[in-house]
Amino acid sequence: MPVFLELLSDSPFTGQIVSVPILQSPNTNIVDTQNINCTVSKCCLQMKRFLHICSTLNPESGGPAHVAIQLSMLHTQMGHQSEILTIDAPASSHFSDDTIKVINAGPGRFGWSYSRALIPWLTKNLPYYDGVMVHGLWQYPSWATARTIQRFRRNGVVCPPLFILSCGMLDPWFQSWERRPFKTFRNSIYWELFERKTLRWADRIVFSNQRECDLAQNTFPRYPKEKDLVIPLGVAEPPTFSESMESEFLKHCPSVEGKPFILFLSRLDPKKGLDLLIQAYMQVYSHAVKHNPQKVYPRLVIAGPGKSSAYGMMLQEMAKPMANQITFTGMLTGDAKWGAFYGCDAFILPSHQENFGLVVAEALACGKKVFLSRQVNIWREIVEDGVGVAAPDTLEGAIQLVESAFEYSASPRKDALDARKTFDNRFQIANTARIFVEQFEALSSSSGES
């Protein structure tokens, strides 16, 4: 059967009937981490079995894979059973942990993470979980999962609550007829055929902050606002600094040994505003050297996957006039990554769109002040706590960020404890993991009562 006919077919459900509560559509909810009174012991009164679904666990893919892994590990530490289903090839080994089972149902096809094996696997196994979290949209796994659960319920088969984490993928920045006409047209068609139904069949659409939620509500027509749920996101506690981290980082970037530097660490992607950052750095550095050539100014380290891409090559060509000051390291992992965070004077992220910015939270966890655009949705919290500077995602804004980072690099730094306090209070993913458990339990309880 042709792929799209197979996907759109409405054949009757033939799966196994199990005894799990039938769920009702919930009302909109916002979870405030400041008022959460949940301990690990409370969450572990009854072991739950959770399934995380993510197209890939390749670390180069960005935030969804990182969040899926971190939540799985934390739920396991809380006494629950957590598994991850991907569309990676069966032999893939992007992540390995003895306590977490990874099921690879790929390889994905058609640039859509399509796998013929996915729906049969979901049909056989979904009813045995207590909660399902799909990380991301616009790919086959989110539609297939929601469709399978919808068929369960239509046929009177009980199944777990489905939470879909939007991961910033409903942001209006991606729907620009001027900047992305083809992709905007494609997304509009896909929305009507698949994505609107996917979200309607979910129990919750999860956002990492209120601004992300607000922006998503007007991006597409007939958006199901009643499904919205805001659960503040976070990152795991970083490892304690060690000298091996510094040495591993310097293997990738020996030119900054003993020198101050500003760090950008993320994917080399047009939405990250790197072209503006490089232009801004070159202008600010040239102006500073002209006025005080004896002074030492921070270098710029650009770390992340995509160095060999067309965009990455264009950035390196742009930076050639200052090759001695601007370094591209490629992707950093493990000790090298943490060595970069701990070793930098400041962290910078001039993105055009970030639903959260995991790397911002990681920088704060390492005690670093952050300089970011106002399109990073957590910028207000950063500025409110006095642990960073925010500016527009324009060349002028990027210049403002670089100038502020230069000034900060030259001054005695007293923000390490403040940055760490912001991380502890706002961006600990352990809080996020507990809230997910509470929300699944609340949905199951309310469904049982009804």
* 389 and 436 co-located in one domain: no
* 188 and 262 co-located in one domain: no
pLDDT of the residue at 450: 52
pLDDT of the residue at 29: 54
**pLDDT class for 179, splitting at 50, 70, 90?**
confident
What's the whole-number mean pLDDT along residues 132-141? 96
What's the whole-number mean pLDDT along residues 344-369? 95
What's the whole-number mean pLDDT along residues 183-206? 94
pLDDT of the residue at 44: 43
pLDDT of the residue at 173: 86
Domain count for the chain: 2
Residue by residue, DSSP assigns 196-242 as HHHHHHSSEEEESSHHHHHHHTTTSTT--GGGEEE----BPPPPPP-
Q: Which of 3-12, 192-201, 240-249, 354-363 has the lowest mean pLDDT?
A: 3-12
* 258 and 317 co-located in one domain: yes
Q: Residue 115 is encoded by which pair of tokens?
A: 């796998």
Mean pLDDT of all residues belonging to the chain:
87
What's the whole-number mean pLDDT along residues 7-27? 31
What's the whole-number mean pLDDT along residues 42-68? 84
* 125 and 54 co-located in one domain: yes
What's the whole-number mean pLDDT along residues 308-332? 97
Measured distance CA(118)–CA(101) in Å, rounded: 16
Decide which of 331 and 413 is more confident.
331
* 226 and 257 co-located in one domain: no
**pLDDT class for 62, splitting at 50, 70, 90?**
confident
- Which is it for strands 326-330 and 370-373: parallel, antiparallel or unpaired? unpaired
Measured distance CA(8)–CA(38) in Å, rounded: 42
Report the CATH number at residue 78: 3.40.50.2000
Q: Which of 220, 226, 219, 222 is nearest to 204 (CA)?
A: 226
pLDDT of the residue at 367: 94
**pLDDT class for 146, splitting at 50, 70, 90?**
very high
Point out which residues pair with 389 in neighbouring strands.
371
Answer whether residue 1 is part of any domain: no
Residue 28 has pLDDT above 70, yes or no: no
Q: Which residues, 6 or more positions from 422, have their beta carbon under 8 angstroms from its beta carbon? A: 364, 381, 382, 385, 387
* 226 and 375 co-located in one domain: no
Answer whether residue 6 is part of any domain: no
**pLDDT class for 244, splitting at 50, 70, 90?**
very high
* 253 and 358 co-located in one domain: yes
Answer whether residue 3 is part of any domain: no
* 395 and 438 co-located in one domain: no
Percent of the chain at pLDDT exceeding 90: 74
Percent of the chain at pLDDT exceeding 70: 88
* 183 and 295 co-located in one domain: no
**pLDDT class for 177, splitting at 50, 70, 90?**
confident
pLDDT of the residue at 285: 97
Answer whether residue 11 is part of any domain: no
Do residues 372 and 360 touch, judged by C-beta distance below 8 A? yes
* 416 and 434 co-located in one domain: no
Domain that includes residue 46, residue range: 20-234+429-443
Per-residue CA distances from 256 to 77, 87, 237, 287, 431 (Å): 38, 39, 26, 21, 36
* 184 and 251 co-located in one domain: no
pLDDT of the residue at 158: 87
Residue 39 has pLDDT above 50, yes or no: no
Answer whether residue 177 is part of any domain: yes
What's the whole-number mean pLDDT along residues 268-282? 97
Residue 195 has pLDDT above 80, yes or no: yes
Segments in 94-219 forming alpha helices (H) = 118-125, 140-154, 181-190, 196-201, 210-216
**pLDDT class for 6, splitting at 50, 70, 90?**
very low
Overall pTM > 0.75:
yes
Answer whether residue 9 is part of any domain: no
Q: Residue 325 is encoded by which pair of tokens?
A: 């000051």
* 270 and 132 co-located in one domain: no
